[in-house]
Structure 1
Amino acid sequence: MEVPPRTSAEEHRKYFPGKMIHLGEGPAWQNILVEIHTRPAVGKTMLIPAVAEPQLHWQISGHVVCEDRELGGEWNTHLVEPGALFLITSPDPYELRWKSTGPDPIVVMHATIGLPLFGRAAKELLGASARAPQLKEFNGIREPVIVAFLEMLRQELCEQKEASPSFVQGIAQSLATHLVRAYRDDENPRHHRATSLPAFHLHRVLKMMEVSLDQGINIGELAAAIKMSESHFSRLFKGNTGFSPSQYFIRLRMSKSQELLRDTSKPIIEIGMDVGYTSPSHFAHVFRKETGLSPHEYRERTKIDVSPDDFSRIATG
């Protein structure tokens, strides 16, 4: 029996550096995605696609200066310590970067709760006609009830050979109900709307893009794969990422080329071909347009500076 897709946050692990050490998979984890990641000491500016579902971040270990912003906006700075909780509910993509301020490893747990669980909680608490409500975001709070639920999910994920569906689903539903009770935004009672692709469509499209970096993409084929018109697909995809499919594909190519420039000694002309550019000059032109540096300059800079982003003003602030 095929397990239905969980949440669009499943795509997030493709955009974060570091190592995912635990992932909830299988029948127990329907409508909730739980991941535990380690992170490098410095995270460069990254585009994080939007998710339709509310997402909890729990800082298990590590002291971090974290910055986030809307695309092209002003950076917001957070000092993140172990135990801090964040609830992200915005349907818009954002950019993120961070830097460790201590010796402890950075370990983060993400729990993304599917809208069906919030829908059930809303009907129970607000009436049979209620829909999943908007929640208030929070940044860096300490909330023992949420931590208790997350810790139970962590133990089930990390310590049990096979997770219990009834246990995981019970905790997930309880967590959703608690969030609706405690953090419902009654001053902004808008409901979740379909302004971006649902999880399983986004997953399929991104997979198609990733395996086609060296070949290119056809927007019509992407749209047809999820049974949408090209215009409707493009509009919803932009809701996930903030970019058109073709613009986002270029970002994927540039992200892969940056990885190869940093982590391999491959000749630049080969790297360009690996991401679909047969003309070295065209590859260099697109790379400079996206990063502000030529491929050679980027490789030289990353040899001596693991993070071009300027965090000095934060660390000394």
Structure 2
Amino acid sequence: MAEDKFAIALPDILPNQPVFTSQPQQWQGITVEQHCQPPSEIPDHCLPHHLIAIQTGPAIKVENVVNGRFQSGYSVVGDLSVLPAHLPNWERWYGVAEYIVLRLEPELVTQAIQSPETNHLEIIPQLRIRDPLMQQMGLALLTETKTGGPLSRLYAESMATALAVHLLRYYSASSPTIKDYTDGLPSLKLRQVIEYIHENLSQDLSLSELAALIKLSPNYFVSLFKRSTGLPPHQYVLHQRIERAKLLLAENQLSIIEICHRVGFQSHSHFTTVFRRLTGTTPKAYRELTKA
């Protein structure tokens, strides 16, 4: 593409580096960033990814040239912009810009539903619109970026897939056919996935890994898995980790910190927090109860 000569990564052309970024987590297909940027101007450029920007700070005046079209206006808290990958754009803002950025890899969007139609879809740029669902997802992903946890990858990739489907459904030139399933996974495939999860509870499972196991797109996998189990994949795995921890605590052969790592938690404090939330007690108190 001719515009690719301007293709750059967003942090390379901003005055300040992100306040927070999900890059250390190495989530597949999505990067989440929190920014606080002084008044500035971004020269003509194209991004290699689809970008969703959510305003979180005070109102500022913003000027844009997107695909040759000039627009000017005020961006306020909750305003959201969508910039497709490889689309030429320029931007200038006149106050301190505080916002969340969600960067989605084009491959994630095209593979989310595994439809031939996605190969010919065009995401339509949007400036300073309102989309409460995407705003909520952005805030949730930023929270996950800051707190982390044993299921951050599975959670983030599930949320990224939902974002991709939302983009395709509402912000593409021609919406693809997105099936709504009423049935769950076939029993054989469900058993295959559940066995794999139980065998790898200590691992950093990814959504694409689980979906590929039974040859489904990530979006359809999440939908069908929830129909079958009543829980989205990341919540199901979390519950199974706590159930495994309860068994190990009752056996009284491993220390609590060893059990914490055995079931996939990186920190004792986070393990205790989740355990208390799902069981109503702490791992130590649960162990004491099983001794009685």
TM-score, length basis structure 1: 0.48
CA distance in 2, matches of 1:99, 1:155: 28
* Unmatched tracts of structure 1, length 5 or more: 1-7, 188-317
| SS in structure 1 of the partner of residue 165 of structure 2 | helix
Q: Which residue of 2 aligns with 1:209?
A: none
**Quick check: 1:29 aligned with 2:27?**
yes
- The superposition leaves residues 165-218 of structure 1 with CA deviations (integer Å, 9 ceiling, x where unpaired) of 10111101111011111222129xxxxxxxxxxxxxxxxxxxxxxxxxxxxxxx
Deviation for aligned residue 1:19: 4.2
Q: Which residue of 2 aligns with 1:297?
A: none
Q: Sort the Cα spacing of 1:48 and 1:155 in 2 relative to 1 into closer, same or farther, 3 A.
A: farther
2:20–2:146 Cα contact (<8 Å) kept: yes
Aligned residue type for 2:57? S
Q: Sort the Cα spacing of 1:17 and 1:90 in 2 relative to 1 into closer, same or farther, 3 A.
A: same
Alignment of 1:139-154 (within 5 A): 139-154=127-142
Q: Which residue of 2 aligns with 1:157?
A: 145
Aligned residue type for 1:47? P
- The superposition leaves residues 12-69 of structure 1 with CA deviations (integer Å, 9 ceiling, x where unpaired) of 11211134201112454221121111011x21x3315212322101101121101122
2:88 alignment partner, one of 84, 93, 101? 93
Larger-Rg structure: 2
| SS in structure 2 of the partner of residue 131 of structure 1 | helix
2:8–2:47 Cα contact (<8 Å) kept: no
2:174 alignment partner, one of 180, 186, 199? 186
**Quick check: 1:69 aligned with 2:57?**
no
1:55 alignment partner, one of 51, 55, 70? 51
1:56–1:87 Cα contact (<8 Å) kept: yes
Q: Sort the Cα spacing of 1:90 and 1:114 in 2 relative to 1 into closer, same or farther, 3 A.
A: closer
The share of aligned pairs that are identical, in percent, is 19
Q: Sort the Cα spacing of 1:83 and 1:130 in 2 relative to 1 into closer, same or farther, 3 A.
A: closer
CA distance in 1, matches of 2:157, 2:50: 16
Q: Sort the Cα spacing of 1:162 and 1:63 in 2 relative to 1 into closer, same or farther, 3 A.
A: farther
Alignment of 1:258-297 (within 5 A): none
1:36–1:109 Cα contact (<8 Å) kept: yes
Q: Sort the Cα spacing of 1:119 and 1:19 in 2 relative to 1 into closer, same or farther, 3 A.
A: closer
1:62–1:81 Cα contact (<8 Å) kept: yes
Q: Which residue of 2 aligns with 1:11?
A: 9
Deviation for aligned residue 1:96: 1.7
**Quick check: 1:110 aligned with 2:101?**
yes
Deviation for aligned residue 1:160: 2.7
2:20–2:145 Cα contact (<8 Å) kept: yes
* Unmatched tracts of structure 2, length 5 or more: 1-5, 176-292
Q: Sort the Cα spacing of 1:10 and 1:27 in 2 relative to 1 into closer, same or farther, 3 A.
A: farther
Q: Kindly tell me the number of residue pairs found equivalent between the two proteins.
A: 170
Aligned residue type for 2:15? P
Deviation for aligned residue 1:128: 4.9
2:124–2:173 Cα contact (<8 Å) kept: yes
Deviation for aligned residue 1:156: 0.3
Deviation for aligned residue 1:91: 2.2
CA distance in 2, matches of 1:97, 1:21: 20
Q: Sort the Cα spacing of 1:117 and 1:179 in 2 relative to 1 into closer, same or farther, 3 A.
A: same
Q: Sort the Cα spacing of 1:94 and 1:128 in 2 relative to 1 into closer, same or farther, 3 A.
A: closer
1:83 alignment partner, one of 78, 81, 86? 78
1:120 alignment partner, one of 111, 115, 131? 111
Aligned residue type for 1:135? I
CA distance in 2, matches of 1:39, 1:162: 31
CA distance in 1, matches of 2:107, 2:69: 34
Q: Sort the Cα spacing of 1:54 and 1:167 in 2 relative to 1 into closer, same or farther, 3 A.
A: same
CA distance in 2, matches of 1:159, 1:80: 28
CA distance in 2, matches of 1:9, 1:149: 27
Greater relative contact order structure (CA < 8 Å, 6+ sep):
1
| SS in structure 2 of the partner of residue 136 of structure 1 | coil
CA distance in 2, matches of 1:33, 1:10: 15
Aligned residue type for 1:85? L
- The superposition leaves residues 283-313 of structure 1 with CA deviations (integer Å, 9 ceiling, x where unpaired) of xxxxxxxxxxxxxxxxxxxxxxxxxxxxxxx
